[in-house]
Amino acid sequence: MPQSSQGPRSESRPRRAVTLTAAQQQAVERLANDLPVIDRLGRLFTEAGHQLYLVGGTVRDALLGQVGHDLDFTTSARPDHIERLLRSMTTTIWTVGREFGTIGGKIGDHQVEITTFRADAYDPESRKPIVEFGDTIDGDLVRRDFTVNAMALSLPDHRFVDPYGGVDDLVEQRLRTPSEPEVSFSDDPLRMLRAARFAARLGLVPNPELIAAMTELAGRLSIVSAERIRDEFSKLLLTDHPRVGLDLLVRTGLAEIFIPELPALRLERDEHHRHKDVYVHSLIVLEQAIDLEKARNHQPDLINRLAALLHDIGKPRTRRFEAAGKVTFHHHDVVGAKMVRKRLKALRYSNDEIDAVAKLVELHLRFHGYAGEAGSDGVWTDSAVRRYVRDAGDQLERLHMLTRADCTTRNVAKADRLRRAYDELEWRIDELAKQEELEAMRPDLDGNQIMQILGIAPGREVGEAYKHLLEQRIDNGPLGEDGAREALLSWWAARGH
């Protein structure tokens, strides 16, 4: 039988007595009351001679007072028996996980997945476990990632099963693995990223042994597919407090494996501290971007958070020390956008996601450039506002949040000045949008009209004429067809036609 890469998994820990507090016991009973489907399934499997347990995150979240619609179960029944029993309750069944012992279905509003007890063995060079079915609940729970996810509720009798101390760890906010962390992480290296996510999402503190194992085995992450890493990284970013998990990934060396641009932000600061710690600055910007999402009633936004975290990744490559110790990062926005494209492509993000994040990184300094286009009275010119909106396109709202979040100065007067300047810009955008339909900004003449007026066929000159009219639209506002025709003919004559 194949074994774990670190030797056989230990299951020698004695079965511990589980004592739930009154509040925890009430949470378990409330779970059964709120989700009658779990006892229906429990009776169905028990009457067929099988054991069934609600398991994993559903049990953990119940103890935290949360109830979801996705339910995970484990059972002594084999996949064929699971499918047969499930089909007696629902016609909506999926079997794509059969080879791993999992049959899924939809019962009412609930999505359920039921998996045969597992006793996995792993090939140390493989990305996937070799599935071995097990016979006991304790043997199944010991192979799970963390003790807080290794608790189960027997159905339908509601006996609580916690052989590895998950309840105590949840109360004490500890993050541990049911077996030795070296074994657990070597078996499935993605669990090291999950450790960062649970530290961030649940406020759990990894114990020293877990951190040591993450550091020692960081290189094992290289056998995990980019898609799995991407999904776990995205889940971390979408938590309320991802900074905790990101910092854990950097400290243990895991970030070096899949997103080395992040730890590279820890630039060695010059002795006079003439520039910010870019790494800490980026984490603060991420936190402030999340705060802005909430303040503006947005849902957690992956693109917004990726852009906030990575907006300065071009700085290490563009840093220059100039006269009198001045530090510059010229064109780090443009360089960073290219780096973002390369990294997110390697992580298999979608083209739309890559385009959006890269645009935001490239534009994150544009506000400061346009601020220089304010008139003598300090008010933004209409032309500057139009160009800003045109450049941002469909990322304008995200650019608003990124630009505001990027202010981390401790100088209260400077921070207030920047905030008021951006308030003014957003107000100007809203005012012009009401007057000019900025979101649909285009020339007053289309390509067909341009060709008809100039008497030319499709070609390069049509595109140049269109671009000229768009610039006129940006600089001067709507011209109307007659004004646009006059501007087009003047431009055409100036070219010698």
Region of poorest pLDDT, from 70-79, 278-287, 343-352, 409-418: 409-418
Tell me the mean pLDDT in the region 406-435: 83
Selected residue with higher pLDDT from 251 and 321:
251
pLDDT of residue 9: 47
Selected residue with higher pLDDT from 225 and 374:
225
pLDDT of residue 272: 45
Residues 295-300: contacts with CB under 8 Å, at least 24 apart: 296/397, 296/401, 300/238
pLDDT digits (tens, 9 = 90+) for 201-226: 999 999 999 999 999 999 999 999 99
How far is residue 171 from each of residues 55, 83, 433, measured CA to CA in Å? 18, 37, 52
Region of poorest pLDDT, from 90-94, 222-226, 406-410: 406-410
With vertex at residue 383, the alpha carbon angle to CA 378 and CA 388, rounded to the nearest 5 degrees, is 90
pLDDT of residue 116: 95
Alpha carbons 419 and 37: distance in angstroms, whole number: 52
Selected residue with higher pLDDT from 128 and 399:
399
Tell me the mean pLDDT in the region 365-377: 65
Selected residue with higher pLDDT from 497 and 230:
230
Q: Is the pLDDT assigned to residue 359 strictly greater than 80?
A: yes
The owner of tokens 């669990």 is 191
pLDDT of residue 244: 96
Here the tokens at position 412 are 């209260």
Tell me the mean pLDDT in the region 446-463: 85
Selected residue with higher pLDDT from 414 and 475:
414
Alpha carbons 18 and 165: distance in angstroms, whole number: 8
How long, in residues, is the chain?
Answer: 497
Identity of the residue numbered 397: E
Tell me the mean pLDDT in the region 149-166: 93
Tell me the mean pLDDT in the region 149-160: 93
Q: Is the pLDDT assigned to residue 234 strictly greater than 50?
A: yes
**N- to C-terminal Cα separation, the chain:** 83
pLDDT of residue 414: 86
pLDDT of residue 129: 59
Across the chain, mean pLDDT equals 87
Q: Is the backbone peptide bond immediately before 79 cis, with ω within 30 degrees of 0? A: no
Give the phi and the psi of residue 327 in degrees, each rounded to 5.
-110, 130
Nearest to 85 by CA among 49, 132, 110, 128: 49
Q: Is the pLDDT assigned to residue 378 strictly greater than 60?
A: no
Residues facing residue 102 across a β-bridge: 115
Asked if 144 and 161 count as a contact pair (C-beta separation under 8 A), the reply is no
Asked if 61 and 68 count as a contact pair (C-beta separation under 8 A), the reply is yes
Tell me the mean pLDDT in the region 386-393: 86
Nearest to 122 by CA among 208, 232, 224, 257: 224
Q: What percent of the chain has pLDDT over 90?
A: 54
Three-state SS sequence of the chain = CCCCCCCCCCCCCCCCCCCCCHHHHHHHHHHHHHCHHHHHHHHHHHHCCCCEEEECHHHHHHHCCCCCCEEEEEECCCHHHHHHHHHCCCCCEECCCHHHCEEEEEECCEEEEEEECECCEECCCCCCEECCECCCHHHHHCCCCCHHHCCEEEECCCCEECCCCHHHHHHHCEECCCCCHHHHHHHCCHHHHHHHHHHHHHCCEECHHHHHHHHHCHHHHHHCCHHHHHHHHHHHHCCCCHHHHHHHHHHHCCHHHHCCCCHHHCCCCCCCCCCCCHHHHHHHHHHHHHHHHHHCCCCCCHHHHHHHHHCCCCHHHHCEECHHHCEECCCHHHHHHHHHHHHHHHCCCCHHHHHHHHHHHHHCCHHHHHHCCECCCCCECHHHHHHHHHHHHHHHHHHHHHHHHCCCCCCHHHHHHHHHHHHHHHHHHHHHHHHHCHHHCCCCCCHHHHHHHHCCCCCHHHHHHHHHHHHHHHHHCCCHHHHHHHHHHHHHHHCCC
pLDDT of residue 125: 61
Alpha carbons 154 and 32: distance in angstroms, whole number: 11
pLDDT of residue 4: 43
6 confidence band (pLDDT: 50, 70, 90): very low
pLDDT of residue 43: 96
Q: Is the pLDDT assigned to residue 13 strictly greater than 70?
A: no
Asked if 219 and 153 count as a contact pair (C-beta separation under 8 A), the reply is no
Q: At what angle do helices 190-202 and 226-237 cross, to 10 degrees?
A: 10
1 confidence band (pLDDT: 50, 70, 90): very low
Selected residue with higher pLDDT from 229 and 267:
229
Tell me the mean pLDDT in the region 49-57: 95
How far is residue 342 from each of residues 2, 203, 225, 288, measured CA to CA in Å? 38, 32, 17, 26
Identity of the residue numbered 438: L
Contacts (Cβ under 8 Å, ≥6 apart) of 428: 379, 380, 382, 385
Selected residue with higher pLDDT from 361 and 482:
361
230 confidence band (pLDDT: 50, 70, 90): very high
Region of poorest pLDDT, from 113-122, 197-206, 244-253: 113-122
Q: Is the pLDDT assigned to residue 400 strictly greater than 90?
A: yes
Selected residue with higher pLDDT from 218 and 416:
218
Selected residue with higher pLDDT from 231 and 407:
231
Domains of the chain: 1-172 (3.30.460.10), 263-440 (1.10.3210), 447-494 (no CATH)
pLDDT of residue 333: 95
12 confidence band (pLDDT: 50, 70, 90): very low
Q: Is the pLDDT assigned to residue 5 strictly greater than 50?
A: no
Here the tokens at position 110 are 């609930």
